[in-house]
Amino acid sequence: MKTYSLLTLALMGVFVSCRQETGSDTEMKQKVDSLLSVMTLEEKAGQLTLFTSGWDVTGPVMREEYRQDIASGRCGNLLNAHGVSYNRELQKLAVEESRLGIPLLFGYDVIHGFKTIFPIPLAEACSWDTALVRKTAALSAREAAAAGLNWTFNPMVDLCRDPRWGRIAEGSGEDPLLGSMMAAARVKGYQGTDLSDPFTLAACVKHFAAYGAPEGGRDYNTVDMSERVLREIYLPPYKAAVDAGVASLMTSFNELDGIPATGNRFLLTEILREEWGFEGMVVTDYTSINEMIPHGYARNLKHAGELALSAGVDMDMVGAVFYNHLEESLEEGKITEEMINRSVRRVLEMKYKLGLFDDPFRYLDEEREDSILFAPGLMEHALESARKSIVLLENKPFGGKPVLPLPENLNRIALIGPLAHSRIDMLGTWHASGDTTKVVTLKEGLENQFPNTQILHARGCSVNGTDRSGFGDALSAAMRSDVVVVAVGEYFMQSGEAASRAMPVIPGIQEELVDMLLNTGKPVVVVVMAGRPLILTELAAKTPALVYAWHLGTRAGDAIADILSGEYNPSGKLVVSFPWSAGQIPVYYNHKNTGRPMHPLQKYTSKYLDIPNNPRYPFGYGLSYTTFEYSGLQLSDTLMTMNGSLKVSVQVKNTGEYAGEETVQLYVRDLVGSVTRPVKELKGFRKVWLEPGEETTVTFTLSPDDLKFYTVDMQFAAEPGEFKVFAGGSSVDVLEAGFTLK
């Protein structure tokens, strides 16, 4: 007869409790305590280890033998593994083979969709529509969770003022308020109201912190900024994600004020845990513990692991540092068992909340996988989101009236350009398992939208090359057509991680192609597809119609065709300033004033000799086929008390011929502070739909909370004094009023 040791009995107890229903915090604590009490150090290190399966890797793979490690309890989490049958096989290894049967977490970069791809996050933020963004996240979660995933490495909320940085594509632009609202919307969308719901994912806000401000816009590069700028501009979106209940957070690759973020106690413990009260789990970025060696902060891997764990990291992504060195560090007394237990607890709690102890196969249902991928609701939402992401930059009169929308009765449209019919490029960066076969290109979109018009397609040239042999065909198609639509820009790998560009211009000879088409004298519509703001200065001056379409995802072509035909009236507004030239970067709307503000006629003022100070296209800008007129900006009072508030109202009228949506924006300037304040700061916005001739009053409430900043004493407070208020359709096109805070 078999005899049981005490340990085995304890383990059996563990197994029993593994299968209990998810429940209250007390039950979770009991469950985690019971596991912790029997785990070996190796098993604990295993829970703090995240290895990658072979797909989608973005760096070195430190251990290939993840299956073996899962079965032996030495790897508790996996990224880049998806698909129910594959993940089921791996989950079985964890649950059935490993000693304690602790289920695996499956993480993946579901950034803007899983199979159905939505617009890149930067584009979607241009909708200024948090409900839309939340729904995108919820639908992405549904599709990804059906493929066996339970954790997404998103939202990426790194605020960015520098279009050279390729990862600007993944964020929500340059504004802390808008960025915070988008961050919260995405977290709520992914996570829903209950993490154990198998249609949701645990979110992971990243990259903490200030990863979007690398010197020179070069990815992974040094970040250095004042604590005030850090707290006021860069941190709010991460904080908003934490306040929205994000389950986990990822550290960033960069150093900040000399300390790599992954070993940064100030960020990971003082701010994140002590100030913000974050109770979730912290994972590193890909081998970012190991990278503290080349940073010049750690002597060796063991030291790097000690720095990371002590700073507040819980889980090591891919680096195998905790896997290899935790035990030795503990023996040497460099770290304590409490520190390890604290981190293991956070990982196990996350698994518990996901319902994995209740049922490790909760996310692994073949039938569900088949029924959800590309479900109709997803494709419809992909179209809606793509339409709302497009920003109309120019629409000048041509032959007496604006080029867009295109008339219905055209005989021929020449569709030119390397991006007119390229499926993969529509998906943009980080397109997960996005299915290129489902992508609708602009060519197909136009064919659907203009069934009675002949679409003459010619590629013209490639995105990056210098081969002009396709120019002839392009010219001939243009000459035979009523209108020329030309799709140019960046290919999908030209933005995203490790895709910085010193010169963020339209690559290759594409502008030359556009010039040739403009010279035909035909009306030309330029559609720019890109993952970042590009420098459009010359192009904008000569092009009658300019549509900024970003990388819009699976339904890109339909969405652009809807805009060109007028089926949808463009409503997107920029969430990032477009520079005049690369030398102007960083350029952003909420800058300071200087002691010598620009004066065109005075030499010794702050300006360039060769370009204006203003961006080419400002934050908040975007045209519609109709026009909106603002009037009657009014404040309910000219005085605000420290515990009061006031109302700001403005009238908006649709003065054009099309029904359309406008984003009414509210900005404030604090005229004098104990430290200087920006010339404008976004404090609110409202989207309104107006029929032609219709007028509405939009009212905002402002309170001292909206006026807080980090004062000279680093207090987050509002200071009495004079304020200006601005309301309008962009950060520059505004009406102005003022009040005093007492």
DSSP string, 683-708: EEEEEEEE-TT-EEEEEEEE-GGGG-
* Whether 435 is catalytic: no
Q: Interface residues for ligand BGC in 249-308 (CB under 6 A)?
A: 285-286
- Under the binding rule (CB under 6 A), the answer on residue 625 touching ligand BGC is no
Q: Which two tokens stand for residue 581?
A: 């030239």
- Under the binding rule (CB under 6 A), the answer on residue 206 touching ligand BGC is yes
Give min distance, CB of 232 to ligand BGC, in A: 24
Query: Is the Cβ of residue 59 or residue 101 nearer to ligand BGC in the bound state?
Result: 59
Query: Is the Cβ of residue 384 or residue 497 nearer to ligand BGC in the bound state?
Result: 497
Query: Is the Cβ of residue 191 or residue 196 nearer to ligand BGC in the bound state?
Result: 191
Chain centroid to CA 114: 15
Give min distance, CB of 59 to ligand BGC, in A: 6
> Do the Cβ atoms of 71 and 43 come closer than 8 Å?
no
Burial code (b: 16+ CB inside 10 Å, e: under 16) for 110-148 equals: bbbbbbbbbbbbbbbbbbbbbebbbbbbbbbbbbbbbbb
> Do the Cβ atoms of 120 and 170 come closer than 8 Å?
yes
Q: Interface residues for ligand BGC in 505-544 (CB under 6 A)?
A: none
Between the alpha carbon of residue 69 and those of residues 46, 57, 99, 254, 275, the distances in Å are 8, 19, 12, 30, 37
Give min distance, CB of 390 to ligand BGC, in A: 26
**Cβ contacts of 91 within 8 Å, gap of 6 or more:** 103, 104, 360, 361, 364
Distance, in Å, from the CA atom of 25 to the CA atom of 292, rounded to the nearest integer, reads 36
Give min distance, CB of 531 to ligand BGC, in A: 15
Between the alpha carbon of residue 24 and those of residues 200, 283, 352, the distances in Å are 19, 25, 11
Q: Interface residues for ligand BGC in 96-125 (CB under 6 A)?
A: 109
Give min distance, CB of 497 to ligand BGC, in A: 5
Query: Is the Cβ of residue 107 or residue 728 nearer to ligand BGC in the bound state?
Result: 107
Give min distance, CB of 417 to ligand BGC, in A: 31
Query: Is the Cβ of residue 196 or residue 429 nearer to ligand BGC in the bound state?
Result: 429
Query: Is the Cβ of residue 76 or residue 544 nearer to ligand BGC in the bound state?
Result: 76
Give min distance, CB of 22 to ligand BGC, in A: 27
Give min distance, CB of 153 to ligand BGC, in A: 3
Q: Say how many residues touch ligand BGC, by CB under 6 A.
A: 9
Q: Is the peptide bond before 155 cis (omega within 30 degrees of 0)?
A: yes
Distance, in Å, from the CA atom of 361 to the CA atom of 453, rounded to the nearest integer, reads 52
Query: Is the Cβ of residue 288 or residue 565 nearer to ligand BGC in the bound state?
Result: 288
Chain centroid to CA 27: 35
648 DSSP 8-state letter: E
Which pairs with CB-CB distance under 8 Å and at least 24 residues apart come from 87-92? Answer: 87/147, 87/148, 87/149, 87/363, 87/364, 88/148, 88/361, 88/364, 90/53, 91/360, 91/361, 91/364
Query: Is the Cβ of residue 285 or residue 670 nearer to ligand BGC in the bound state?
Result: 285
> Which of 129, 285, 558, 706 is flagged as catalytic?
285
Binding track over 42-81 against ligand BGC, x by CB under 6 A: ----------------xx-------------------x--
Give min distance, CB of 267 to ligand BGC, in A: 16
- CA-CA-CA-CA dihedral for 438, 428, 426, 687, to nearest 10: 100
Residue of 114, 153, 548, 685 that binds ligand BGC (CB under 6 A): 153
Rounded (5°) CA angle 523-524-526: 160
Between the alpha carbon of residue 318 and those of residues 49, 170, 187, the distances in Å are 7, 22, 24
Please state, as a whole number, how many other Cβ atoms lie within 10 Å of the Cβ of residue 401: 10
Give min distance, CB of 79 to ligand BGC, in A: 6
Query: Is the Cβ of residue 56 or residue 365 nearer to ligand BGC in the bound state?
Result: 56
- Under the binding rule (CB under 6 A), the answer on residue 221 touching ligand BGC is no
Query: Is the Cβ of residue 153 or residue 234 nearer to ligand BGC in the bound state?
Result: 153
Q: Is the peptide bond before 382 cis (omega within 30 degrees of 0)?
A: no
> Do the Cβ atoms of 547 and 527 come closer than 8 Å?
yes
Residue of 497, 558, 562, 670 that binds ligand BGC (CB under 6 A): 497
Please state, as a whole number, how many other Cβ atoms lie within 10 Å of the Cβ of residue 68: 13
- Collapsed DSSP state (helix, strand, coil) of residue 290: helix
Distance, in Å, from the CA atom of 560 to the CA atom of 406, rounded to the nearest integer, reads 12
Catalytic residues: 285
Contact set with ligand BGC (CB under 6 A) = 58-59, 79, 109, 153, 206, 285-286, 497
